[in-house]
Amino acid sequence: MQQVIDTVRELECARISSCSFFAYSINENGELSFLMRSKKLGSKSNGMYTDFGTYLKESDPNIFFSAARSFVNKTVGLCSRSEQNNLEDKLEIKRIAREVMNN
């Protein structure tokens, strides 16, 4: 029986283990804007802009979950539509950053 369970788990296992994606928006005039992130200081691509991406973590149910969590962590939640009104408020930005980092 254990062999059947292991075989089913293996078949259900995600086949995609990493992803890269470009976050974008299109305004009412049809203009396309990409959200890019700056590479960390000291990296090979210092000063360059890149896409978002991640690897599937063993505890995540699928790559989409990993990608969503990675995006929220890398943007510190500031790009959520519900938070756009708070971008000017520095205290609110610190609150959001603390909340995301503590989860």
State pLDDT tens for residues 29-76: 888 888 777 766 666 666 677 778 888 888 888 888 888 888 888 887
| d(C-alpha 83, C-alpha 93), whole Å | 9
Q: What pLDDT score was predicted for residue 60?
A: 82
Q: State the pTM of this model.
A: 0.55
Q: Where residue 25 falls among pLDDT bands split at 50, 70, 90?
A: confident
For residue 66, CA distances in Å to 47, 70, 75, 87, 101 come to 25, 6, 14, 25, 16
Q: What pLDDT score was predicted for residue 9?
A: 67
What is the average per-residue pLDDT within 74-91?
72
